[in-house]
Structure 1
Amino acid sequence: MSLSVKSEAGGPPLQPPPPPPQQQLDVESNPQPKPDTNVYPADALSTPRQILFVGTLCTSMFTNQVGLGNTLTTVGVIGESFGITNPGQLSWLIAGYSLTIGTFILIGGRLGDEFGNKKMFVLGMSWYSLWSLVAGLSVYSSHVLFVFARVFQGMGPALTLPNGLAILGQSYSPGARKNMAFAWFGGSAPFGAIAGFLFGGIFALAWWPWIYWSQAIALAGVAAFAAWAIPPLPVQPKQNRSILEKLDDLDIPGGLTGVTALVLFNFAWNQAFVVGWQQPYVYVCLILGVLFGVIFFSIEVYWAKNPILPLAAFNSDIAFVFGCTATGWACFGIWVFYIGQVAVNIGGNTPLQMAAWFIPIIPSGLISALAVGKLLGKIHPSWIMVVGQVAYLVGSILAATRPAHSIYWTYYFFSVLIITIGMDTSFPAATIIFSNAVPQEFQGMGASVVMTIINYSISLGLGIAGTVERQINRGGKSKSDELLGYRGALWLGVGLAGLGLVLSLIYVAKDKLKRRPNA
């Protein structure tokens, strides 16, 4: 439609006056914004590019499990090179890694929110690579350096795991593709565990430091590739903030007191396995851990403007998720450590044999994870959680009752096959339940909390199991005494799995009662 009008005298049409020069400049330099059609960048990627993108993020779960598996089956070889035979000291070579991951994941997620998830993912892989190198170099020093290197290794996955999940959540729109991306993330765990078992055993045949040097090389390559494979993210850190505003957003007092509480509490349980509860510093650390925990919760509830753990988002659903996740994964940590101890120390199997014996983890874990990805929209996650707890219970019972010298294809095979279902169903189910139970503004925090519970439970479960083993193995003076201690720890895992099953059934009943009035 023309904006011109005719003059009263019938002359040529009059044109509207041009806008002032400054207005013209504003229009040209500030055109109207176009609607953002690429809110979820991964949706616009080609299929090969999506495979590379999701695969790169899955390396965070894969490498996390590698770091656990490559030491589980070779801990005896590593300990022997340092002159360590005490099972309590050997457990620290494993527990220190999981302890650090579980302690620092919440902080890793918050750092990603404040400084960029992609930056923290790449930084985490680089940090993990550096301390893997140091772990190998510790062969020229002592087991103290090795333990420190393992502890600092754990800070790498503490950065990559929550930020990898956050990147997936930001990059895919809700729907089937997002569910499958999360399923693949969980499904990469068994592949990582087997890779850790296999390459740990192979390199141990040559010289065990190459377990960690090869890991360092691979992680450096992943860090470089991730910088290219991860596209620009739609959610960017806040800009133009002062240093005080950044410190306030990080909730440093809450982070410091929370980390201190977790470290002291877990240290007390794991160290009690080594020296016993009669040592004053052990129960002093336990008491201090509880006190720092009280201070942490007080800060989060009454003082922090941006709490690192927003307790206001928690409800009874979250309590059941935490309980089931904690008991299940503590059971898994005990199972994977002590079933290996029985096979190697009592049955005389080699680390390489152990790697082969864990191969059923791959098909069982992959099928479980992908099945959960397909079923999440059709079955309530609480039922998937029940299936996971049943798998933990049955797999643990098979491990606890297994004769030490029985053939592989009986107890051991079925225990590995079944308990993997628990691992790869409980993780996605817990993540979805948590996501559905908290408000939208806390969605990014959900995955970090679940990963914190998982890794901290593994470490704490091993510490408590070690205490049980120490109390009943009569000093471990004979193989039968050692086996008695191992079985005691495995039966503790059975008890934890049973508790988790009861909690999951209560949660299902509670969910049915809650939905009944709406039926």
Structure 2
Amino acid sequence: MAQLMTQAALGQAIAPLHIIGTYFGLENPGQLSWFAAAYSLTVGTFILIAGRLGDLFGHKILFVAGFFWFGLWSLLAGFSAPAFLLPNAIAILARIYEPGRKKEMIFSLFGATAPSGFTVGALFSSLFAQLVWWPWGYWVCAMVCILLGVAGILVIPATPPPQFDNSVSMWKRADTLGAFTGVIGLILINFSWNQGPVVGWDTVYVYVILIIGVLVIALFFFIEYHAPHPLVPFDAFNSHTAYTLTCIILEELRDVSPLLGTAMVSPTTISGLCAALTTGFILNKVGPSTVMMMAMSGFLVGSILLATVPIGQTYWAQTFVATIVTPWGMDMSFPASNILLSDAMHKDNQGLAASLVNTVINYSISIGLGIAGTVEVYVNNGGKDVLKGYRGAQWTGVGLAGLGLASSILFALSERAQRAKERKKAREEAV
């Protein structure tokens, strides 16, 4: 439910975008993109510290608190971020299941709820926006979150209390300075990328904020390198985790109503479920590198189909095929990357492992909108050629997907070389 509600909230921000924008007097595509970008920004940024807090205070406590917090801000009709939910939900699953087929299948099923959640959120928000009033989508979301929070208290077993060295202060265990610089740096960089298309990159404060953000992130990595309990433990990284996170990072013209638009993307629910279940069955047999290559291929093919689709073409041609192919990218890479990071870390750091993957995913969604928006603004001939601008944004996605595929191929070559080295060593020891 954590994954489903997170994606449902994203869907309810995107599907009725133009109805909500009209209500607030916003029509500029750059300004409208902030609706989704702001949501993904807060999710991706605060997940970074939410997982660590779960490791410190207990994943059940943070999970339940996340639903109540999510419900509160949905009640206030804000674009709230369920950052506390995702890493702690994954951490609870990781602590219950040992590495193996069962854990891989559970993580895959968790990932399979993403397209379903997006479709559910888009459907109900579109219904309320078109037939009643758009705030009702958020108020209903608040009711559901409160009910799920109460259910979490009653149903989820208490996680074992964390064991710590009492000589180390809570501030150091939480890596407060690292959390502060990490969050601030990510927000500044993301804000500049998403504000650039709105006001223009020649506006001084945009690139000044970007420079400051980069410097703060550099300071963050310096702090993490020397911190006794870092948010980003460098000793947990190897070539596999680095390649995996790299792959994850690199992924209005038809005048359709929100409800029709939701119907058009609804096949992603079934396709995503099939992709996630396939991952659960094959991950242990073919390895993470092959799964990541398949996922990146799904992203690339889906992006090419959308970048080249003619405006007047029937939905059942390229668009429908893209909605079938693209979910294989997200719903194969998400469980594979989570399992890889989870198995690489101790049980006491499962919240942190989940935070890393989900931070990269959600932050990439947000900053990707800014990058695509920048391309769109600079190729649409001053707003005269909207189609050309959208094509440019889509081809940007194709380029990023191509980089992701290249990274996954390097990952596969690295994994194959490592296996060959291990086999050679085993033969030498046998002799």
Which band: TM-score by shorter chain? over 0.9
| Residue equivalent to 2:32 | 90
| Farther off after superposition, 309-318 or 160-169 | 309-318
CA contact (8 A) 1:313 1:439 kept: no
Using the alignment, how far apart are the partners of 2:102 and 2:236 within structure 1?
27
| Residue equivalent to 2:426 | none
| Residue equivalent to 1:219 | 145
Deviations 1:159-192 (A, max 9, x none): 0100000111112233333222211110111110
Which structure 2 residues correspond to residues 84-483 of structure 1 after superposition, within 5 A?
84-135=26-77, 149-150=78-79, 153-154=80-81, 157-205=82-130, 206-233=132-159, 235-238=160-163, 241=166, 245-302=169-226, 304-328=227-251, 345-437=252-344, 442-477=349-384, 481-483=385-387
Which amino acid letter does the alignment assign opposite residue 288 of structure 1?
I
Distance apart, 1:440 and its partner CA: 7.0
| Residue equivalent to 1:340 | none
Asked if 1:60 is matched to 2:2, the reply is yes
Q: Where in structure 1 are there 5+ consecutive unaligned residues?
A: 1-58, 136-148, 329-344
User: Secondary structure of 1:90's match?
Assistant: helix
Using the alignment, how far apart are the partners of 2:350 and 2:95 within structure 1?
10
CA contact (8 A) 2:16 2:129 kept: yes
Which amino acid letter does the alignment assign opposite residue 278 of structure 1?
D
Give the alignment partner of residue 17 of structure 2, picking from 67, 75, 89. Answer: 75
CA contact (8 A) 2:107 2:339 kept: no
Distance apart, 1:76 and its partner CA: 0.7
Using the alignment, how far apart are the partners of 1:177 and 1:319 within structure 2?
25
Deviations 1:110-165 (A, max 9, x none): 11111111010011111111111112xxxxxxxxxxxxx32xx11xx210100000
* C-alpha RMSD of matched pairs (Å): 1.6
Deviations 1:247-276 (A, max 9, x none): 121110010011111000110100101101
Using the alignment, how far apart are the partners of 1:68 and 1:174 within structure 2?
31
Using the alignment, how far apart are the partners of 2:241 and 2:280 within structure 1?
21
Distance apart, 1:488 and its partner CA: 0.5
Deviations 1:284-343 (A, max 9, x none): 1101101111111111112x2211111222222222111101102xxxxxxxxxxxxxxx
Distance apart, 1:443 and its partner CA: 4.8
Which amino acid letter does the alignment assign opposite residue 448 of structure 1?
S
| Farther off after superposition, 287-296 or 171-180 | 171-180
Which amino acid letter does the alignment assign opposite residue 251 of structure 1?
D
Distance 1:207 1:444, change over 3 A: closer
Using the alignment, how far apart are the partners of 1:173 and 1:194 within structure 2?
31
Distance 1:98 1:272, change over 3 A: same
CA contact (8 A) 2:119 2:262 kept: yes
Asked if 1:498 is matched to 2:402, the reply is yes
Q: Where in structure 2 are there 5+ consecutive unaligned residues?
A: 424-431
Using the alignment, how far apart are the partners of 1:178 and 1:316 within structure 2?
23
Which amino acid letter does the alignment assign opposite residue 267 of structure 1?
F
CA contact (8 A) 1:382 1:429 kept: no
Distance apart, 1:431 and its partner CA: 1.8
Using the alignment, how far apart are the partners of 1:77 and 1:474 within structure 2?
26
Distance 1:77 1:130, change over 3 A: same
Distance 1:246 1:439, change over 3 A: closer
Using the alignment, how far apart are the partners of 1:355 and 1:378 within structure 2?
36
Distance 1:472 1:203, change over 3 A: same
CA contact (8 A) 2:55 2:349 kept: no
Using the alignment, how far apart are the partners of 1:223 and 1:213 within structure 2?
15
CA contact (8 A) 2:94 2:347 kept: no
CA contact (8 A) 1:399 1:411 kept: yes
Which of structures 1 and 2 has the larger relative contact order (alpha carbons within 8 angstroms, sep 6+)? 2
Which amino acid letter does the alignment assign opposite residue 312 of structure 1?
D
Deviations 1:426-449 (A, max 9, x none): 111112333455577755422210
Paired positions, count: 422
CA contact (8 A) 1:346 1:483 kept: yes
Deviations 1:413-435 (A, max 9, x none): 00000001111001111123334
User: Secondary structure of 1:216's match?
Assistant: helix
Using the alignment, how far apart are the partners of 2:349 and 2:89 within structure 1?
17
Using the alignment, how far apart are the partners of 1:435 and 1:116 within structure 2?
17
User: Secondary structure of 2:38's match?
Assistant: helix
Distance 1:493 1:346, change over 3 A: same
Using the alignment, how far apart are the partners of 2:99 and 2:209 within structure 1?
45
CA contact (8 A) 1:320 1:503 kept: yes
User: Secondary structure of 1:378's match?
Assistant: helix
